Structure formats: structure tokens, C-alpha cells
Chains A and B, each alone.
Chain A
Amino acid sequence: MTQPRSSLLLAPPPLWQRPWLSLKREWMLYHLGDQRFRFMYDPPPDDEWVSVDCETTGLNPRTDQIISIGAVRIKGHRVMTSERLSLLVKPDKAISAEAVKIHGLRERDVANGLEPDEAMRQLLHFIGSRPLVGYYLEFDVALINRAIFPMLGVFLPQPKVEISALYYGWKQRNLRVYEHGASIDLRLATLMSDLQLPTRHAHDAVNDAIMAALAFVKLRRLLETPSDKAV
């Protein structure tokens, strides 16, 4: 007996939604400011994702900026660390002291970084039309959207998969009914050790992206297989 695939795992859209989705796609393409980026709306390659992580000048998605981007592709059960993207971006505002303490990137470290527009171009080409994966992806996506909107007039169109949501779903599935509602610790370190995955030096954009990718690959397999109460 197989369970239905978890809704978290981006099942293909049901038939009755497809006309609407293709209309939406046309609409987005019409608004796309730079037609060279049409590839973002192509059908994604099968069984591939991109895990993304950004380090920033601070923690406010409205005002802070990206200073380094790490991204790594995922193909099936493989984390393609050989196909990774690691960019330093030159921000046009100061990096907060708190942020420097977290990721260790000082202003002088990113002074030779790319211009934000160039970095975004490289990132978008790296992502292509693949769905995005990340840990608290919202924050990263918000920052990227802010950076690409002036260029393209659209936000990131790719589907997005949230690691902490996958993890939450999997934990819920494995908890007994009376334990539901108990708070589940979603901190990255807890999540990684619970999944028995090696942790790397955190707060380096590529390392974080790889950790998220590993967690995704494992959670995906766990969610695809029938539930077992003992993990």
C-alpha cells in the first residue's frame, strides 16, 4: 500500500488547473521586462531542484541586502555539490555588526563582490526553471525578489519548497495522534541532527544551501515511503 504523495512535494498540478496556469504564465511572460529571462517559465527539468541560501546585511527583508549567495542543484537523490554557485555581492549599504558576527563577512570582504544586477543574472541562469528549496526560504526569496523586480518587473516564478514545512509534516506524520500539536523544534541544527545528517560550518551561504539540500533529499525519501511510527 502506498500513501498518496505528500502535498508538500509539489505534485504536478491537477488537470482542471492547467488552462488557468498556462494563462497566468502568458500573462507573466507579457510582463517580463527582459525577454532573455523567458527560460524561467519553461517546464522544469524532471526531478531537479535548486537549494538557495543568502547571507545579508541584516535581518530585515524590506531594507537589508544580499551580500553573498550560495546555491546548489539537486538531481534525484544527489546533491550536486559540483554544480554549485557561490557569489559575493557588493551591497550599497553598511553591514550591521550583528550580521558580521553571524556570517563573518566584513565590508572589505565583499568590496570585490559583483554588482547586485550581475549577481542576480547569474543566479537566475543557475536556477533556470527548477523549483527552489530552502530553509526559511521566504526570507531569501523576498530579498531576491526585491533585487530582481527592478530588472524584470516580475518576482521569482518557480515553485518553492520549504524545508522546515517538510520536516514539520514528517514529524507530524510520525507522532502519535495525542502528541499532535506539541511544539516541534524547527531550528536547523535540531533538524539536521534529528535527520542524522552531517552539519557543516553554518552561515556560509553554500554550506547552508548544501545542508538544506541534504535535508530535502532525505525528507523527500522519508515522505515518499509509507509512514512508520518508529524512525
Chain B
Amino acid sequence: MPSAFNFNSSPFDCLTSDERQLVRDNIDIAYFREGDVILEPGVAPTHLFVVIKGVVRQMDGDELVVTYGPEDSFDGRALVSGKVSGRFVAAEEVLAYELKREAVNELISSNATFGALLFADLSNKLSALSQRGSQHEMQSITLARVQQATVRPVREVDATLDIVSVARLFQTQRINHVLVRDAASDPPRLGLFSTTGLQAAILHGTPLDRLTVGELATYQLVSVRPEDYLFDALATMIRHRVRRVVVVQEQRISGTLDQLDLLGFLSNHSYLITRQIQDAEDLSTLKEAAQQITDLIALLHRGGTQVRMIARLVQELNAQLFERTWQLVAPHALVANSCLFVMGSEGRGEQLLKTDQDNGLVWRDGYEPPANLAEICQRFSDALTDFGYPECPGRIMISNPEWRQSAGDFGQTVRRWLLMPSAESLMALAIFIDAHAVCGDANLLEGVRDEVFNLLMDNDALMARFAGSINAFDMASGWWNRLLSLGDDNLLDLKKAGTFPLVHGVRSLALAHRINATSTVARIEALAVAERLPADLAGELLDSLHFFMGLKLKVGLAALARGEKPGGIAMDQLSSLDRDLLKDALGVVKRFKNMLYQRFRLDML
């Protein structure tokens, strides 16, 4: 007893039967009337509360921080720190289980998952979750690191060795590549020579026994570290279009990682899609590849892959898809003399499921684009629409003349946005700052972007207006209340409530501190390093961002499976754990917003 305690809700669903008995033996039931203060600062917390019926509000001063409904537990953090993190007030009559502090501590020490789920520290919760997922499913391949895959030891040969001896070595040792040490060059360098190089050697014309391996080795080594995720290694291979990377440990090459071995580890989907994209000679082949990207995402997500990694892979694949499409649609001269870029979440590499195509084109000053440029761009946009990337409702795409200009004109446009800011132009600016080149000459884009930085730098009023858009979507009544109105079919627009303020806030901070990174993750990391963000907040922001992305992905995939369009998030369909995490994440965003208010003096607007 109480036999009625629900062990199916987080964090109690990870307990063993002995641990459950411990809970039953140490739990009481408390009753509070409306308005009773359950916990407040200065009170030594002695229990963990789990709401049975009723609603509890956590207040910070007069401000409502978060509400707790049935099956929610609080205040795990206080139990450990010994300090209550706010006033907890019964908003209506409350019945709550009280689990004794000693029991909670015992559970924490015996069950790491429980402890992690309990602390409202999001990062622990999330990693505990991914651990739990892996208990239920097979060990998730994607959490594997390079050192767990087959890292093949590599033979080192001298650069003066002739090709025939190398071929003999290949045959006797059953290897297909060697590391080439070139001591003659200054400084000494390392290269890689593989069986692929033998073709080049034969075609070289020099008698093979006199051709040294040093002449044909590749000295552009792409390297990974043993502690990198395999997934990152794969993304690296795709980006550099190599089939092998060297594993470097503390300045020493410990071996090589072959794509084949890696694919033995990961599902070989992504590689196949890449091949398909690269080899596509017409748009219909590309369309098949585009469809497979979504399948791959679903597959990886079901396999428990971290959202961060899926996003990275998807960004690489999408970039390749856009690039190949552009190459097929646009004449060679145009491709060479311009820069095609993607923006928004696609640019930041935070896009998982296909969303609107936000893209633009900038070409070199003095280059005369072909006469049928409009038609080419329209064809590109149509192709993307056909692949399942819907047209951007704000018409931010190259089929719109405003988003395809020469570098000089683009610079003018950006200056106009800045000097005569309107709500639309500030949004356009925000989107543009995240641009990420996918094809052509990336310097063209950078040139225009530097323009923005230079203008914004010393203009505090403008900076504040720019940052002020974090409130663009503020709702009159807090979504907090909606978190509890379980049962009504209110959909939470995650983008408005969580993602946008977070991303835009980070973007504004990055802009204010001249940080050139375009992805939110990189920006947060750079801001933390520059000590513009407290380290703990930075970590929580990262976790929240990834949680939002994951939740959106989860809901989106479910909607796609039902054959609907991905939309808002129905609160009542979330598990209590997701609700918990969502509350935490939204709380983090709120704290971050307060920080921005002070930083940019947004109250003055």
C-alpha cells in the first residue's frame, strides 16, 4: 500500500520492484486546501510531492513559474540542494503523495535513471531518457563513438617506396590502403594511398617500379577523433566525399575508419541517399532521394538517435540535395559566379522534417546573369516544391526577385532593412543572418553578411528593436495555464512559445557580440566561451532547443504517419514526462528572455 500509487508515470516508471516497495513504505498522503502554501523558501524540504488531485502553482515572487497537475512531482531539486526553488501554493484543493527525503535519496543512489529524471535539470533528464530508450530497444547504434567501430590499424610506408612494392604489400597484408610518410617535404607530412590510387598509378605512364608512392598519395587527410560520434564521422565523410577518414588520437594517427565499416554500424541509408543524390542526372531521381530523407529521419528517430545528430545529417543531406538540384537547373557559369544559400532553420541546421524553402541567390558584381534567370529560379523552386519542401508563405525564395540580386544590390537591400526597419524587414534580416551557403562561391554571401554586422555593431537602439522581436508571438494569457488545461484541444505552437524566442534571442546576442556562427548551437557555445552567457544557462538552452526539436519531430512524424500535415502540439497527448520536460524547457526560455530584457533594455521599447 498504497496500492493505488501510479508507478507508470515518470520518474517512478524506472523503478525495480524492490524500489517500488521502498516507495510504498515511505509514502504519505497530504491534503491541502486552496491557497495553502506547500513549500516556500526558508522551509527545509523533507518530502518529494507527487500530485494525486488538484493543481499546484510554483510562484517566484508574484510571477507564476509553472503549474503542476496530477502525476507531476516537485520539488526534486530542492531535496538535493536543500533549498526550495520558489513558493509552491495549492491553486485548488490538493491531494498529494509525500515521499520521504531519505527514501528519495536512497532511490537516487540505487537508481541513476530515477535521480536524473527527478532533478529538473533538463540535460540529465534527457540523457536518462536516451538511456532508458536504449534499455527497451537495441543498443542505439548512433550513440556509438568512433572507437567502438572497427578502427583498422594502418601500415605506414616511406614516400620513396615504389608502387609495385606497395601493391605487393596490399596483397600480402590484405589491406587496401597505407599511410605514406613524406620525410622529404618540409615539414614532414603524412598522406594516404589506397587501391583507388593504383588506377592513377597505371595511367600515370611512368614504369611502376620507378614511380614512388609519395607522388600519388593524398595529403589532404580528413580526420576524426576516437571520442567523436560515428554519426559525426559519417557526416564528415559525406561532406568531404571521402570513403575513409583517419582517426587521430593526441596528435597520433591510431588507424583509419572505413566508410564500409562505419556503414556496418549505421544503417547504410544515408550513404545510399548521398550516392543517389550525387549520381542523379535528372530531377525525378532526385525526388526519390528526397523522399528517402524523410524515411531515414523516421528510422533514426525510432532507433533513439539523438536529435542533434539527426539534424546534422539532415542538414548535410539537404544541402547536397539543393546543390545537386541547382546544378541540374542552372547553367554552369551561373553556378560558378553566384552563391545559393538557405536560410532560417534550414540554414541553422535545425530543420528535421521538410519545411518551407527559405533560400536566396547572390551573384558576383559585374557578372551578367543569363536572360532567363527568372525562369531558372522558378524551375528550382518548383523542383523543391515537388520534392516536398513547400513554398515559403513569406515568399523568401529565389523565385522572388527580391531574394536574388547581385552582391552590391543585396548589400543595398540589407542596408535599407537596417536603416528603415519595419517589422517585416527585421524578420527578413533575422532570417538572412542565419544564411548558410550550399552551392557556389560562399565568399559572396559572407561579404553581404559582414555588411550587417558592421552596421548593427554600434547601434544599440537598432539592436534592441532587433532583439525585441522575441516577443513577436507573446500570448496574452500565459501558455502556462494551458499546460494544465488538460482535456481541451488547445494546440501549443511550439515555434511561437519556445523555439522562436530561444533562437532569435541567441541570434540577437550573437549579433551583438559579433559572433559569426550561423547555427544556434554554435552560437550558444561561442557565447558561453566568450562568457556572454552563464555556462549553466547555455547548457540548458542547448538542451531545451534539442528537446523542442525532438518534440516537434515526434509530433510531426506521428502526424505524417496519420497522413496529416505536421501542426501544433496537443498537450493532452503528451506523456507526463514530455509535459515535464516541456515545462522545464519553456521555463528555461523564460529565464533567458528575462536575461535579454536586461541586456537589451527591452523595457524601454
Contacts and interface: CB of A to CB of B under 8 A. Distances in A.
A101 interface: no
B53 A198 contact: yes
A214 B95 contact: yes
Given A200-B2, A200-B4, A80 B28 contact: yes
Interface residues of B, number: 19
A121 interface: no
Nearest to A216: B31
A78 B93 CA distance: 14
A226 to B, nearest CB: 13
A48 to B, nearest CB: 13
Interface in A18-48: none
B30 A77 contact: yes
A27 to B, nearest CB: 37
A168 to B, nearest CB: 20
Interface in B12-35: 25-33
B1 A79 contact: no
Interface string A133-168: 000000000000000000000000000000000000
Contacts of A78: 28-31, 98
A17 interface: no
Given A81-B28, A82-B100, A198-B52, A221 B1 contact: no
A78 B97 CA distance: 9
A84 interface: yes
B3 interface: yes
Nearest to A225: B33
A217 interface: yes
Given A82-B26, A82-B28, A198-B52, A207 B3 contact: yes
Interface string B93-133: 10100101000000000000000000000000000000000
A81 B29 contact: yes
Contacts of B25: 82
B467 to A, nearest CB: 47
Contacts of A221: 31, 33
Given A82-B100, A214-B95, A201 B29 contact: no
Contacts of B93: 196
B1 A206 contact: yes
Contacts of A174: none
B31 A214 contact: yes
A210 interface: yes
A81 B52 CA distance: 14
Given A198-B95, A200-B2, A214-B95, A81 B31 contact: no
A196 B93 CA distance: 10
A204 B28 CA distance: 18
Contacts of A207: 1-3
A95 B393 CA distance: 77
A123 to B, nearest CB: 17
B528 to A, nearest CB: 44
A193 B498 CA distance: 39
A197 B95 contact: yes
Nearest to B99: A82
A84 B31 contact: no
The A contact surface, by secondary structure, is mixed
Interface string B516-555: 0000000000000000000000000000000000000000
A172 interface: no
Contacts of A201: 3-4
A80 B47 CA distance: 12
Contacts of A81: 1-2, 27-29
Interface string A209-231: 01001100110010001000000
Contact of A217 (B2, B31, B98): B31
A1 to B, nearest CB: 18
Contacts of B28: 78-83
Contacts of B3: 200-201, 204, 207
Contacts of A197: 53, 95
Looking at B26, B29, B53, which has the most chain A CB atoms within 10 Å of its CB?
A: B29
Contacts of A206: 1
A231 B194 CA distance: 84
A59 to B, nearest CB: 25
Contacts of B2: 81, 200, 207, 210
A123 B328 CA distance: 87
Contacts of B95: 197-198, 214
B368 to A, nearest CB: 78
Contacts of A213: 29
Given A196-B53, A214-B95, A79 B29 contact: yes
A77 B31 contact: yes
B463 to A, nearest CB: 52
Looking at B4, B25, B28, B52, which has the most chain A CB atoms within 10 Å of its CB?
A: B28
B2 to A, nearest CB: 5
Interface in A49-86: 77-84, 86
Contacts of B30: 77-79
Given A77-B31, A214-B31, A198 B4 contact: yes
Contacts of A82: 25-28, 100
B458 to A, nearest CB: 60
A223 B32 CA distance: 14
Contacts of B29: 78-79, 81, 210, 213-214
A218 B1 contact: no
B51 to A, nearest CB: 12
Interface in A178-218: 196-198, 200-201, 204, 206-207, 210, 213-214, 217-218
Contacts of B33: 221, 225
Interface string B77-107: 0000000000000000101001010000000
Contacts of A204: 3
A210 B3 CA distance: 11
A213 B4 CA distance: 15
Contacts of A79: 28-31
Interface of B: 1-4, 25-33, 52-53, 93, 95, 98, 100
Given A78-B98, A198-B95, A217-B31, 12 more contacts: A77-B30, A77-B32, A78-B28, A82-B25, A82-B26, A82-B28, A82-B100, A201-B4, A207-B2, A214-B31, A218-B31, A221-B33
5 contacts: A78-B28, A78-B29, A82-B100, A200-B4, A207-B3
Q: Enumerate the 3 nearest inter-chain pairs by beta-carbon distance, A residue then B residue, closest first.
A: A79-B29, A217-B31, A78-B30
